[in-house]
Chain A
């Protein structure tokens, strides 16, 4: 595996391999000194053209735990503000000797473009509305772990609730959950669904809340109100928020997930600490392990693997 730009690109085999590697990384993270020398001498560059403290910190921690060197480049402090083009930025940084770029950008497709300009591995840390593959992998890993599955997610009922249309998290999660065999339902107002929904869709959360194994709440972005896609936050909360009443109707084993940062009082109206099925902190913890697995696969383990069939 050379790049991780989307879930589709690595396929189900790639997903399974990364989830398997994540087990190893979770073990490492449980140790008193969670650091291994695996990627000594490798340099990872975080290029964040959009603000995202948690994803950036998660990648930084992952790289450091594998003993790689990390450089972080945020737009606020960069030459981009002085008019440098994306290509010049990439080529300049690449010339310093980078083994992997971790890229967050507001435009879809940037990771593909960047991989044409450098020989380094490219990891998509979120591109526009398009995808966020490491988030999807950590979500899949968290579900697998919490439900005690060792391989796929066959028959697991996942409802993704919220702004599906503008959500790269939703898009990547739908891909990964579907690939692992889960039954995905989208719950959103019609205005917040893509023109062609990639999975069965409904606007009635109450009809699905009793029939889910995983309730995945997306962040409701306030700027959507200005675009008049939702009448008001109050109305959105009433119809699509996790209220105490809906929380009571969730099956006992059901997981509640959120990619963060949470809008308390909008998509989630109960204290997640009081929800037995909430695995939101596990998602964050697993995020580090999944990103370790991705970095290790791209920079170490997965390079030039010989074909084994001839053995």
Chain B
């Protein structure tokens, strides 16, 4: 991992429009198919959206893949019980885990909206291993915002978006926005080194406190 210089926080605003998101999802669907067709793994492909931000994205990728090639099982995974920062940050409960197929021998594509420290993905790898031993696990994210704290790298990326830790990346189907991190979030971010997005921002977004849910 290379050390990323702390960037100055930029003006808040939209960095990907709704059309940009749509095009990125279509491209990622093609890339997932291309890679796994080459390796002869299309039959065993399964998409798992990480609760909560990755769920809609996995569903959208599933729809695109179905359109291009044929239907693929789509599930979701709640990793909150596998995190390594329990007690350091609040947990938003009751994301459901729904895995439609046996993961033994499957090719699992983990799907999340934002890749940040990599700790959510680490937790997801632990969670997946409880359900079986996949032949391969790949990672698809809409936004890679940098600041990795673990040796984790995405296989499929919608957009590389270098950010400052003082910024928050808000992803919905309607676009990707940069927002300044609220004060209390920054406080707990420095303490816990953050989750995918530090602290309560996840809860705030999924509960629609910012006025846009992640449906």
Contact = CB atoms under 8 A, between A and B. Distances in A.
B86 A301 contact: yes
B1 interface: no
A310 B81 contact: no
Given A21-B94, A311-B210, A33 B81 contact: no
A23 interface: yes
A66 B82 CA distance: 10
B144 interface: no
Contacts of B82: 36-38
A307 to B, nearest CB: 7
Interface stretch (B27-35, B113-121, B134-142, B184-192): B184-192
Nearest to B191: A304
Interface string B201-215: 101100101100000
B78 interface: yes
A179 B42 CA distance: 52
A28 to B, nearest CB: 7
Given A33-B130, A311-B185, A305 B209 contact: no
B90 A28 contact: no
**Interface of chain B, main secondary structure:** loop
A24 B81 contact: yes
A306 B95 contact: no
Contacts of B210: 311
B182 A28 contact: no
A37 B93 CA distance: 16
Given A308-B203, A311-B201, A37 B126 contact: yes
Interface in A292-311: 296, 299-308, 310-311
B78 A24 contact: yes
Nearest to A99: B87
A38 B130 CA distance: 14
A84 interface: no
Contacts of A304: 90
Contact of A300 (B87, B94, B95, B187): B87
A307 B86 contact: no
Nearest to B90: A305
Nearest to A37: B82
A233 to B, nearest CB: 44
B80 interface: yes
B97 interface: yes
B97 A27 contact: yes
Contact of B81 (A36, A302, A311): A36
B96 interface: yes
B86 A310 contact: no
B93 A308 contact: no
A20 B184 contact: no
Contacts of B90: 301-306
A299 B91 CA distance: 12
A33 B128 CA distance: 12
B164 interface: no
A310 B94 contact: no
B86 A20 contact: no
A298 to B, nearest CB: 10
Interface string A84-112: 00000000000000000000000000000
Given A28-B81, A299-B87, A310 B93 contact: no
A62 interface: no
A11 B166 CA distance: 35
Given A36-B81, A37-B81, A31 B130 contact: yes
Interface string A6-37: 00000000000100110110011001010011
A305 B200 contact: yes
Contacts of B200: 305-306, 308, 311
Given A28-B81, A37-B126, A311-B210, A306 B188 contact: yes
Contacts of B184: 306-307, 310
A24 B204 contact: no
Interface in A203-234: none
Nearest to B51: A24
18 contacts: A20-B94, A21-B93, A24-B78, A24-B93, A28-B81, A31-B130, A31-B131, A33-B130, A37-B81, A37-B82, A38-B86, A66-B81, A301-B91, A306-B187, A306-B199, A308-B203, A310-B183, A311-B204
Interface of A: 17, 20-21, 23-24, 27-28, 31, 33, 36-39, 66, 296, 299-308, 310-311
Interface of B: 78, 80-83, 86-87, 90-91, 93-97, 126, 130-131, 182-185, 187-188, 199-201, 203-204, 207, 209-210
